[in-house]
Amino acid sequence: MINKSLGFLLSILFLSLLNQVHVSAHNYVPRNIDIERSPKNILIGSYVGGRSHLKPMLDIAAILTERGHNIILLASGSYEQSSEYPGLKQITLGPRLTVEDSKDGIENLDDFRIMAEFMKIRANIYNKIYEKYMNTAKEYNIDLFFCDGFANEACLDVANNLKIPVVGFTAFLLLIDPKPYKSDPFLGCNISLENESFFERFRCTLIQPLQVAFEFLSPRRQLIDARNQMNVKTDLERLPKLSLALIDTFFGFELPQTLPPNVQVIGPVMSEEYPPLTPELSDFINSNKRILYVAFGARLNTTTETNNKILQSLVEVINKKLVDGIIWKLPEASMDNLSPTLNLADGTQIQTLPIVNNEHPQFLITKFTPQFAILNHTNTKLFFNHGGVGSVHEALYTGTPILTLPFGNDQLGNAQKLKTAGVALSLDKHNLDVNDIVNKIDFLLKDEHVKKNSERMKFLARINSKRKYRAADLVEYILYSNSLLDKSVNDNFLKEWVPAEYRMGFIKANNLDIYGVLIGIILIFIGRITFKLIRYTLTRSSVKIKSKKA
């Protein structure tokens, strides 16, 4: 029996080998992978501008430029790093907006309220921005809008008005595809509602959204007025139409969820090249084996109290020999926000000026840091950061664990996501405590799970970083299919990827009407039975009463 089946297996093996020999005798010719393309004009629009918003978009644009398309950037401020993207043409939308800069990092409102403030400012200059987009689109004969998804309605509105396809870009998935089981500290709740109590889910599902809607009532009103002035046709509540949304994140860091096909997760978008270490940094990193790299957002102005606590913690971790080198990126504005002396936990007093002046051998304090190259170095063991998405991607890509001190916006949610992924711990800016910082640094440096999780994230970030080419492919597909659209029937761009549920509406798409009828039928049925039962008992009792009387 065994012999028989063995013989059978061997003969199959033999046959398949024979088959392979047979097949490879053919002369193979390459599959044709060429696609038809002609140069198009693409407008990248960002209302807030700035490196963190523009860089990933420009990394995708760099691929499109290489493929022969023309890119025009329309963004606030002037993009300082345009030398990174030679040939890029920028038109400015005006000076950069600074709600955050005007206040210090700690006292800032850290949730949707600051966004509402921001929206008000934006509504006030909507008309100006709208005209800029419109004029640029006409002047450069734009074929596709590539819009930063944040506070950038004018970009979408102009594209929709001109019937030009528009691709949205954001790192904040919640903005594009909210789910009932996900939220964000930005909205006053945790990132996941999976393990929250009923009351917490009730609060996050009904009460918080009402509060958010209330806060946005007046900025939204202003925006609608501004739109009416410009004769922009948009329904009151419907967001402007995106042909495709590209999300600069990846599942593993982002909590998993289902997505419609026209929402594509394509991050982390990383550049091909990064600036190398300066000789000074290179010497420092190579002569110390365990580096802690500290950098908060460039636009963040930390208070003296915060800076003192951070510096004290850094000195403590050096004294405890948890690390042997610290690189601290300290902006000029923050350098003055430091007390001249600090008291350590063991009672000794230290002078801060020598440290800031780089006289302490284990400190390197600088204004400019080639961040990726520092994180990329094997001696960099931990990243102490505010949790901005660009920095987070670089840390995950290089497998560096993170201690986050989130200040606001998406940073609080990022900190929670990193913690859930097991690669980070986070601090509370309202409750900063030196002991807490030291203990968390100690834990992150020593814990085996953190090391393994960081390696896992590194692999995932690396394979996913290739998806920027897919992002460029999809933009090209929209451009190409657009040229084949039948304009007379008011075709939608990329309609082949829009699930029917968006056309059917919430009730029909979820068959709620059918369930409604079913519940109705059941209720009628129950009602009739109850009615009959009541009548039956009533007649019985009345019979009894009658018979008693008789």
Ligand X SMILES: *[C@@H]1O[C@H](CO)[C@@H](O)[C@H](O)[C@H]1NC(C)=O
Residues within the interface to ligand X (CB under 6 A): 101, 104, 189-190, 192, 194-195, 274, 276, 301, 303, 333, 337, 372-373, 376, 420
- Beta carbon of residue 98, minimum distance to ligand X (angstroms, whole number): 9
- If the CB atoms of residues 286 and 511 are measured against ligand X, the closer one turns out to be 286
- If the CB atoms of residues 296 and 372 are measured against ligand X, the closer one turns out to be 372
Q: Describe the strand order of the beta sheet including 244-247 as a list of residue ranges.
A: 89-92, 70-75, 41-46, 144-148, 166-170, 244-247, 263-265
- Beta carbon of residue 337, minimum distance to ligand X (angstroms, whole number): 5
Residues 6 or more apart whose CB falls under 8 angstroms from that of 81 comprise: 51, 55
DSSP string, 176-203: HS--TTB--GGGTS-SB-TTS-HHHHHI
- Beta carbon of residue 403, minimum distance to ligand X (angstroms, whole number): 16
- If the CB atoms of residues 195 and 490 are measured against ligand X, the closer one turns out to be 195
| Rounded Cα gap, residues 400 and 292, in angstroms | 10
- Beta carbon of residue 178, minimum distance to ligand X (angstroms, whole number): 16
| Rounded Cα gap, residues 314 and 390, in angstroms | 24
DSSP bridge partners of 90: 73
- Beta carbon of residue 339, minimum distance to ligand X (angstroms, whole number): 12
- If the CB atoms of residues 271 and 319 are measured against ligand X, the closer one turns out to be 271
- Beta carbon of residue 372, minimum distance to ligand X (angstroms, whole number): 5
- If the CB atoms of residues 317 and 375 are measured against ligand X, the closer one turns out to be 375
- If the CB atoms of residues 419 and 451 are measured against ligand X, the closer one turns out to be 419
| Rounded Cα gap, residues 455 and 466, in angstroms | 18
Strand, coil or helix: what is 474? Answer: helix
- Beta carbon of residue 195, minimum distance to ligand X (angstroms, whole number): 4
The 3 state secondary structure assigned to 263-312 is EEECCCCCCCCCCCCCHHHHHHHHHCCCEEEEECCCCCCCCHHHHHHHHH
Q: What separation, in Å, do the N-terminal and C-terminal C-alpha atoms of the chain show?
A: 91
| Rounded Cα gap, residues 345 and 436, in angstroms | 12
Token pair listed for 180? 């009932």
| Rounded Cα gap, residues 170 and 417, in angstroms | 17
- If the CB atoms of residues 90 and 307 are measured against ligand X, the closer one turns out to be 307
Contact, 64 vs 45, CB < 8 A? no
- If the CB atoms of residues 68 and 275 are measured against ligand X, the closer one turns out to be 275
Alpha carbon separation from 75 to 55, 120, 213, 274 (Å, rounded): 12, 19, 28, 23
- If the CB atoms of residues 127 and 257 are measured against ligand X, the closer one turns out to be 257
- Beta carbon of residue 186, minimum distance to ligand X (angstroms, whole number): 12
Degrees, nearest 5: CA angle 466-468-469 = 80
- Beta carbon of residue 200, minimum distance to ligand X (angstroms, whole number): 6
Q: Tokens 């499109």 — which residue?
A: 64
Sign of CA pseudo-dihedral 247, 54, 409, 232: negative
- Beta carbon of residue 97, minimum distance to ligand X (angstroms, whole number): 14
- If the CB atoms of residues 337 and 366 are measured against ligand X, the closer one turns out to be 337
